[in-house]
Homo-oligomer: A and B are copies of this chain.
Amino acid sequence: MDTTGHCTASADKNCKHDRGENGCAECGIRPISVCGSLELSELEEFVRISQIASFTPKTMLFEQGAPAGSVFNVTDGVVRLYKSLPDGRRQIMGFALPGDFLGLALMDLYGVTAEAVTKVRVCRFARPAFLTFVDDKPHLLRRLHEFAGHELSLAQDQMLLLGRKTAEEKVAAFLINMQARYARLSPSSVTVPLPMSRQDIADYLGLTIETVSRTLTKLAREKIILVVPDGVRLLSSERLDHLTAT
């Protein structure tokens, strides 16, 4: 394992979303990924240009401003995407979960920094090979564009949140949102995992760590949520929903 924390040949067999010996065909997250638009025949070539990589927590997948050498499909774990100001202030743009694609914009330089929050597994594609592959598959480009449109829509929701919502509304919206995203991945467990730190949540919501903590405590005091290690249980999604201001 090298210093960047990735290792191309790790075999973590208890990972649920991962392709087996037969390539992508039995990959758990393919239907919800960009690769869901590929024919089985195309998948063969796709798997040939891909590489499995994994990253340990807190290691960097790529850095803001660096040449975009690869694009990634997250198959397991959580990745934080952020931008920083010179003085250290940080804004997290989002948390990528399994099925999410990193490098959608296909631009020359990475626009954000990506770091593993948990152990992360990805399919990695060298950008030139990926671009060549896309070039004669309009349906894949169409799918990428759909994903980009969805991302843009989420970014706009986040702008509304950052610019106009109160701390309580921000935290409530975050919890509801994480619940919905995890529900899509695994049959609705009662507990919403929050593998990221309070600082990460704060930097995602444009708040401080103290305000996040206080707000969670307040919601717990009102029996709307229950704070558990590395997550929360939503006791009343109903009431939480009322707090999100749509």
Contacts and interface: CB of A to CB of B under 8 A. Distances in A.
A206 B107 contact: no
User: How large, as a class, is the contact surface on chain A?
Assistant: 35 or more
A206 B158 CA distance: 12
Interface in A173-226: 203, 205-206
Copies per assembly: 2
A54 interface: no
B246 A86 contact: yes
B105 A160 contact: no
Nearest to A136: B138
Interface stretch (A40-48, A72-80, A139-147, A231-239): A139-147
A157 B33 CA distance: 26
Nearest to A157: B83
Contact of A104 (B149, B162, B206): B149
A155 B152 CA distance: 7
Contact of A156 (B85, B112, B150, B164): B112
A62 to B, nearest CB: 15
A156 B111 contact: yes
A106 B160 contact: no
A89 interface: yes
